[in-house]
Amino acid sequence: MTATTVLFVCIHNAGRSQMAAGFLRELAPDIRVLSAGSIPADQINPTAVEAMAEVGIDIAGQQPKLLSTEAVKESDVVITMGCGDACPFFPGKRYEDWKLDDPAGQGIEPVRVIRDEIRGRIEGLIASLHPRS
C-alpha cells in the first residue's frame, strides 16, 4: 500500500503552504508531503520560519517550488491557499481550499495567528485521513 500524498499550494510557496507542509511532516510522518506555488518566491518567508521554529519545527531548509501538473497528478489530496485558477484540477482527487491570510510582509504576531490556524487545520486533515476504528 502506498502512502497518502498531500500537496499544499499557495501563490509563492513561501509561507502558508510551507508552514502546512512542516506541520504535516512533523505530525504525520507516514503521509508524503509536497508543496508548491503558482509563482514561487526566491526564498521562504523568514517570519514564517521564525514562527515555526517557535513550535519546534524547522522549515528553514525548504525552498519554494513551482507547481507542476505532475505534483498534482501524484497527490491524493490537494490543498490550495489562495492560488485561484492557477491550480490544475484532476478528477478523483480530494481538493480543499483553505482561506488563510497571507503572511507575506506581516510581523511575527499575525504570522503566529496564521500558524496556529494552519496547525488546527492540519490536525483536522490528519483525523480525516486516519479515521479511528
- Angstrom distance (rounded) from CA 32 to CA 7: 9
Average pLDDT over residues 114-127: 97
Are 101 and 110 spatial neighbours (Cβ–Cβ below 8 Å)? yes
**When comparing pLDDT for 34 and 85, which is higher?**
34
| Max CA pair span of the chain | 44
- Residues marked active site are found at 10, 83, 87
How does pLDDT run across 37-58, given as a tens digit for each residue?
A: 989 999 999 999 999 999 999 9
Residue 1 in this model has a pLDDT that exceeds 50: no
* End-to-end CA separation in angstroms for the chain: 18
Confidence at 31, pLDDT banded by 50, 70, 90: very high
Distance CA 14, CA 123 (A): 21
**Domains of the chain by start residue, with CATH:** 1-85 (3.40.50.2300)
Q: Please state, in angstroms and rounded to a whole number, the distance separating the CA atoms of residues 21 and 5.
A: 11
The C-alpha atoms of residue 72 and residue 34 are separated, in whole angstroms, by 9
How much is the average pLDDT of 67-90?
Answer: 82
pTM of the predicted model as reported, rounded to 2 decimal places: 0.93
Q: What pLDDT does 103 receive?
A: 93
